[in-house]
Chains A and B, each alone.
Chain A
Amino acid sequence: MTGMRVSTRGLVLIYRSEGHEVAALSGVDLDIEAGEMVGLLGPSGSGKSTLLSLLAGLFRPSAGKVFVGPHELSSATPRELDALRAREVSLMLQGAVRNLLPYFTPIENVRFAQGAARVVRGDVPSPEEVVAGVGLGDDAHRPLAELSPGHLQLAALAVSMATTPGLLLADEPTSQLDHEARDLVLERMALVNREFGTTIVLVTHDPDVAATLPRTITIRDGRVGGEGRSGEEYAVVTPDGFLPLPGHVRENLLPGTLVRFHLEDGNYLLLPESSEQPSEGRHRA
């Protein structure tokens, strides 16, 4: 299966906690092209895992729409969502063992993960092929308890890729790994992305991981706070015209600061009201 395009429009998720309504996402617009490998960054509680869950169809958004390939998830029936998860969308949970049935070997886990897809589609790769594809061929039949954390994560990756889905959503896939294992896992994910064209969206805290990704999206306060492409950090103008400031700029432009946008030579200058001349507080937009 080839990668699937993912997009969201005005995505809002509000939940209740201890009698209060909390907006986990407050208007997220996102476009990820098929075959892209994108990282979702952001501080804890920013909403990136929530966004990932919405992309997997685990929650229904309070408002807005989620498009995965031709499917619009916010109005999909449970049966449609099951079918989607069976064939096209795979979610890799944070913590390798949460993706695996503890009493099965890696290959048995892969076979289990293929169960529904095999009924619906039939053309799933063999479990051996999948396990070998993530480089876990030698450990395919070993009990999980005997695997290293890195190999456990690879087993989780193999399970997530068991049906060669069009979209792989991975929540902190490298969070509990040492550098060597982390790099190995990232390498395999990149390989999957290249070989199968699978669209991969992964959540990470790790700047080293983010650095390896061709595109990153930073979620902040439930919104898209910025985007990084090939190491360059961008702010993203929202459909309603808001422009979130990058983190380091916010330290200089305190809340309440008045700014003007000044077009100069085709570039926007951001001029805080307090300064007459652009100086240290003068920013190029």
Chain B
Amino acid sequence: MNLEFFDANSFIGRPMNGIFKPAQSGRDLVIEMKKQNLSKAIVWHIFQYEGSPEKGNRMLAEQISGYSELYGCWTILPPQTDEIITQDFFEKMKENKIVALNAFPEWHRFVLNRVSFGEFFENLVERRIPLFLTMGRTCITWESLYNLMRDFPSLTCILCDIGIWGVDRFTWPLLEKFPNFYLETSLLSLEEGGLEATVKKFGSEKLVFGTGFPVRYPKAAILELVHADIPDNDKEAIASKNLERILREEKL
């Protein structure tokens, strides 16, 4: 079957190190997406994580402007330091085609909870702006993630790079309890039967497609989803429709 793919998990920019070949620019990523038959992507810049969220966010905005296939994901820090979150933050997001946010609390050394982000996250919940978190890159512990979701049970949260070892015992309670908690599939696909079991238990609406590019191979996640033992309409939902719905519900 022909699926339209909307990639929820890829980044641009050259990292400090790594064996993989990166997409240096927005243009490079679009070329790779065409090769892989991916229609759209939410993308961030590696410098947002490795160097400076503030400068990285600006680099990202420059790289995605002019490419209708690309939407941006900015990195946030606690509002108290005024480094990222300013009065006109949401207007700037809109101006720069930024549709989502991410955070790396362990790496950027802050606590992602109500104490640090109370009012701002209430705003995210109301506007239904998705927050991307990763279980890779020393981002967040499972305990902190559980506490965050308990603090903000209606938060739209998409968990990426869920790990090489199966993590259903961690993720399934979150899928069960929180209506706007989603999993990105690039490593869920890695687990034998993981995709099918999650769909059977929670429905396909809880999953969004991702490739993990440039660290991982897009064709891996594509082949797994195309031949997953689930109905075609579930595959369509995971491949692109769920993420499109999440973005349609967003009020920037």
**A-B interaction:** no
Binding site for A on B (CB under 8 A): none
